[in-house]
Amino acid sequence: MNKKLREQLTAIAHERQTKDDFCHDFNHIGRVLHMALKIAKKEKADLDVVIPAVLFHDIIVYRKDLPQSKTETDESAVVAGEILRGIKEYPQEKVQQVQTCIRECSFSKGIMPATIEGKVVQDADRLESTGAIAIMRTCYGGAMMNRQLYYPPDPFRERTNITTPLPSSLDLFYHRLLRVADSMRSETGKKMAVRRHKFLNAFLKQVRKELKESGVVK
C-alpha cells in the first residue's frame, strides 16, 4: 500500500473512531495496526487488506454489556465497505476481503479465518486482550459497566461458574484473557501471545497473594 493511501485511510479512521470508549479509541487502533504490520511481515500477508481491516475493525463500537455489541463487527464491515468503495485509489477487488477480515475478527464468534490476512488481523486484535494492556482495558471496561473488581465469595472461580453477564472484572480473565494464547492463528502471533500470557499468570499470582493478606481468600 502506498504512503498516500495509507495516510488517507488513517485520517478517516482517526476522525470516525469513538472518542468515548478508551478501550476502543484510536490509540487501540494504532497499537493493533503496529502489531498487525509486524505479524503480516512475517506471515507475508497482503497489506492492502490488513491495513484497512485493522483501521476499521472497531469503527462501530457498543458497550460490551449491550445486546448491540453482538453485531458491531458486522456493522463495522458494512461501514468499511462504504468507505473503501468511495476511494477510487483503493483496489476495489479487495473490499470484500477487508470486510470478511473484520467480520471474522470477533473473539466471541470464535471464527477460524480462511485467509492469512484474516488470521493476522484477528491475532493482532487479540493481543490487546492478553498481557498488561489487557489488564488496563479490562479494569477500565469493567468500570464503564459498573462491575466490581472481583466476585468476593470466589474471586478466582474455584468453586463457582462464571455467569453472564460477568459480575466482575476479574471474571473476564477466565472468560477471555487467559484463553487468548490458545486461540492465536498465526505462528508469529502465538509467540507474541505466550509472553503476554505469562505476565497474566504472574499478575494473578500477585492478586491472590494480596487477597490472602487482606483476608478475602484463604
Neighbours of 109 (CB within 10 A): 11
Please give the pLDDT value at position 100: 97
> Residue 139: pLDDT above 90?
yes
Q: Is residue 83 part of a domain?
A: yes
**Tally of structural domains, the chain:** 1
Q: Is residue 152 part of a domain?
A: yes
Long-range (24+ apart) CB contacts under 8 A made by 20-24 are 21/61, 21/63, 21/144, 22/140, 23/137, 23/140, 23/141, 23/144, 24/58, 24/61
SS3 content of the chain, % helix, strand, coil (to 5): 65, 0, 35
Q: Is residue 114 part of a domain?
A: yes
> Which CATH number do you get for residue 25?
1.10.3210.50
Neighbours of 85 (CB within 10 A): 11
C-alpha cell at 2: 502506498
Q: Is residue 206 part of a domain?
A: yes
What is the rounded distance in angstroms from the CA atom of residue 23 to the CA atom of residue 29?
10
Q: Is residue 57 part of a domain?
A: yes
Phi, psi of 62 (to 5 degrees): -120, 155
pLDDT band at residue 105, thresholds of 50, 70 and 90? Answer: very high
Angle at 61 between CA 10 and CA 46, to 5 degrees: 40
Q: Is residue 194 part of a domain?
A: yes
pLDDT digits 0-9 by tens, 53-89: 999 999 999 988 888 888 999 999 999 999 999 999 9
Q: Is residue 60 part of a domain?
A: yes
Please give the pLDDT value at position 184: 96
Q: Is 148 helix (H, G, I), strand (E, B) or coil?
A: strand
Give start and end residues of each alpha helix (H) in 104-186: 116-126, 132-144, 171-175
> Residue 164: pLDDT above 80?
no
Domain that holds residue 174: 3-213
Average pLDDT over residues 199-212: 97
Q: Is residue 218 part of a domain?
A: no
- Which has the closest alpha carbon to 216: 148, 144, 163? 148
Average pLDDT over residues 195-203: 97
pLDDT band at residue 210, thresholds of 50, 70 and 90? Answer: very high
